Structure 1
């Protein structure tokens, strides 16, 4: 047995560490880095003792490690998304399911979803108040929820209305249960979640029975086959659909609200983006989305659990069962990786794609977010449509603080905006 070699960390009780992490997001990690360096140990109720890293080389090594050395954390979103979710699966079974689910979210199929994204954005923008302050996050949430529902299930119907009402409640409660150290119970929050999940399963079962073919994700999942010719079970389909609906909805909406928050405080970038939309370009918009995700990552931690004794990770020897957490915010604010890191500067990504072991809002390695390409396309089309149709009024107000929503960190005031209808270059209103 190898002797563990780990960095120091705070000695405060784990409940206090957890309370601080949940109530003061984004402050604890920088303070611990300032005190202990780019790696330190923490003790949290949900994870227990864990090693937090932010060194680029050690992050890359962790993401490239095989599933025999490190794999998913036992306590993760799989607790609420179900045993068939990608968050729950490990090793070969995770690889098989991921291979099956990849085609709908890549390549030519992405282009087919762009019309859905634009339609839903235009529909929602028509409801935005003109000349008044309002929070964009609820609106962005409706946009992304409708988009993912249409992409996953195709046409609309009675079940869609039920899912539109059910999913926000299910996902909101599940986001908190995923991070809070609450034991499962037939009563209380877990009981309420179980009731919502039964309602969701019943709706999905009806949709499966009605499926008649098409290009939606549900149909593709029903038609897909593993290498041995077998099909996905109904339970696995329900779990994976919930994973796609949850992961492909809240985090994207939150990033879009942060984009509004950032752009209103950087009028030069905002003006350049509007000019680019009129010219039919996209390079600055692409770079802006990357920079929003770098400076305002909605998920702050991604992790692995060590499966072998004495896992050597850079300078550290990590015991079996230990959790290694990657601090996304710390690597994104590392001056050696991103010079002038605290500045919001989309130009850093113009003509340069990010290193996916340093820019990691979607995680990394074999467990990187399956829907990253879909989410990027979605954010691009939503932002393009907003910039094309509306004038976003700049502000000199201080930036919005971070507010924890369980899994995701959102702007405290919901990404407030003031908008007016925008005239196109020919003088006509959009």
Structure 2
């Protein structure tokens, strides 16, 4: 028998307006009114059960694809049918296996040098002693890193992608939360502009694959080269279209979210001078424990993504005392669990010490999602944030501030500091 948790009775349109106008405060208010688990009905997701209890979250993340699987309405609509975000079941598992090797520990260590190079280059453009938003800088750093480590782009293709991808990702990020039109509405509309840019992207990737196939792939360390060489268990290789979709997926997963988290790190540290001073001392001493904890705490205190979810595939999915029918979405409220006093004492306090020498519980700390659909680039993003933050603290002095915290600003997928992570720096 279907038994759903309580929730608002307003129409989908009204609930959608409420969700868009106050995405964070609205979720918190509903939790306080209806409890840890509640039901909503909003555009794109449709009828959905929202979770914020670690026991329920573990049940969701450990369920098999025959019970719950990929959300139909998700980033796969803009990243392409070959994207991990668009695949489900066995095909998702099969494709994911091909993407694991580029993100192992040995490969990540080789990528650290590139991350540091791009950070040093960007820091050279930072003004001295005057306020500026760091988000545009962190966006450039993460984009350049991905173009080099993932796309293996150089020369003309690098220059073209450097111009095209920020526009493509920015527009796609906003379109990912609105329905796809069922008719061709022309190139002058947002969707029309997006598909035009996507076609230009595919042409560039096709050239990059041609270049890769003519090169010594064993001498290359980029992800594209590895995907060109990779084979499924039956000996088949990924199609060019699937490679293009997957590269765009890795960009979407590791570019904007990492950049916004780094901007939040600057915003948080300027308002916590004691932590900032301790981090500088640690960098000078060659340590990393507090810095690694700080990266974790920034992601808890200022998660760049609001929700992660699944769709019920079984006739009913039993979770806690509820029975959710097929077709419903089940959504995890990331901020809800990260701000839970019972899980993280004084949750609104920025306190990296809570993660010093302590691994986060991946059913309570979930900025990368969880289960078999956890972000495949999580280790890469963590390495990148660590190296960028280390380089900033080593080469620049961040000037503390007593200004109020920056407000949240939605960029479609990611939540960024409202003023872009305003910084004042001096050379060290």
Same fold (TM over 0.5): yes
Question: In 2 relative to 1, CA 155–88 (structure 1 residues): closer, same or farther, beyond 3 Å?
Answer: closer
Counterpart contact for 1:25–1:404, Cα < 8 Å: no
Deviation at 1:335, TM superposition (A): 1.4
Question: Does 1:36 find its partner at 2:42?
Answer: no
Q: Helix, strand or coil for the counterpart of 1:229? A: coil
Q: Is 64-73 or 9-18 further displaced after alignment? A: 9-18
Residue 193 of structure 1 corresponds to 194
Give runs of aligned pairs for residues 5-404 of structure 1, distance below 5 A.
5-154=3-152, 156-184=154-182, 185-187=184-186, 188-211=189-212, 212=215, 213=217, 214-404=220-410
Report the number of matched residues: 420
Q: Is 361-370 or 15-24 further displaced after alignment? A: 15-24
Structure 2 gaps, min length 5: none
Mapped to 1, the partners of 2:136 and 2:18 lie a distance apart of 26
Counterpart contact for 1:22–1:404, Cα < 8 Å: no
Q: Helix, strand or coil for the counterpart of 1:318? A: strand
Please tell me the root mean square deviation across aligned C-alpha atoms, in Å. 0.9
Mapped to 1, the partners of 2:185 and 2:416 lie a distance apart of 30
Mapped to 1, the partners of 2:392 and 2:16 lie a distance apart of 38
Mapped to 2, the partners of 1:324 and 1:153 lie a distance apart of 34
Deviation at 1:373, TM superposition (A): 0.1
Question: In 2 relative to 1, CA 198–310 (structure 1 residues): closer, same or farther, beyond 3 Å?
Answer: same
Deviation at 1:328, TM superposition (A): 0.4
Mapped to 2, the partners of 1:155 and 1:183 lie a distance apart of 33
Counterpart contact for 1:25–1:409, Cα < 8 Å: no
Counterpart contact for 1:287–1:347, Cα < 8 Å: yes
Residue 428 of structure 1 corresponds to none
Mapped to 2, the partners of 1:390 and 1:139 lie a distance apart of 14
Mapped to 2, the partners of 1:151 and 1:35 lie a distance apart of 47
Q: Is 35-44 or 372-381 further displaced after alignment? A: 35-44
Deviation at 1:155, TM superposition (A): 5.2
TM-score (norm 1): 0.96
Q: Helix, strand or coil for the counterpart of 1:228? A: coil
Q: Helix, strand or coil for the counterpart of 2:397? A: strand
Deviation at 1:382, TM superposition (A): 0.1
Deviation at 1:131, TM superposition (A): 0.5
Counterpart contact for 2:308–2:332, Cα < 8 Å: yes
